[in-house]
Amino acid sequence: MINIFAAPDSATIWLLLWTANNIGVTLLNKSAFAKVDFKYPYFLSFVHMMCNSVGSMIVFRSVNSVNEGGGRKTMFTNMGGGIHNLLGNITRKEIDKAGKRKVLAFSVIFSLNIAIGNVSLRHVSVNFNQVMRSLVPAITIAMGIALGKNISKRRQMAVLPVIIGVAMACYGDMTFTTLGFFYTVFCVLLAALKVIASGEMLTGDLKLHPVD
């Protein structure tokens, strides 16, 4: 059986899944603030990160069960087999102190991005949030250029239709407060910085597996 998720041309599938997940989380978070009148965005972020941590520990435990082998079959072994079929062979990488500092810095950026994003959703509409977030590719390219990365003109021009298209699609309820605008801009900058940091973690000196 062909595994479409592990195929060389599976980037589009993973991108669509990530986009759907991102939109779903955004709508659910906004519903918590608008429909349920939940007033604790930082606590919501804490729950988000706790779920990430528990899910990560389960994945790592399952992967280790498969890598260690042995005749005993457990729930984690079966789950690890499924993860292996989905993502291919996963080998955890040992990192030094410098690498751990990089991972810690990335974790701080990632957590701040989630927390500030939830705070901004409490003060702005989903439409405004998505239009602002459409600027992330452009800001990411600008940060990359500032860091000395070589980015082609075609890639730079390609982000313009994306920004315009999202703005046209989301135009409507663009309500926001001054505080919400500040938080959203901060969130967009953090999101762009997270993209740069993610690329460095995956393709830089560390070359971590996406699961790591």
In angstroms, the CA 209 to CA 189 distance is 25
What DSSP assignment string belongs to 57-113? Answer: HHHHHHHHHHHH--S---HHHHHHHHHHHHH---------HHHHHHHHHHHHHHHHH
Q: Confidence class of residue 1 from pLDDT cuts 50, 70 and 90?
A: very low
Mean pLDDT of the chain: 75
What are 176's strand-pairing partners? 124
In angstroms, the CA 139 to CA 128 distance is 17
What are 161's strand-pairing partners? none
Task: Count how many Cα atoms sit within 13 Å of the Cα of residue 207 in the half-sphere of its side chain.
Answer: 2
Give the model confidence (pLDDT) of 45-83 as tens digits: 788 888 878 877 777 777 766 666 555 566 556 565 566
* 160 C-beta neighbours (distance < 10 Å), count: 11
Give the model confidence (pLDDT) of 76-121 as tens digits: 565 655 666 566 666 667 777 887 888 888 888 888 888 888 888 8
In angstroms, the CA 194 to CA 113 distance is 8
Q: For the full predicted model, state whether its pTM sits above 0.75.
A: no
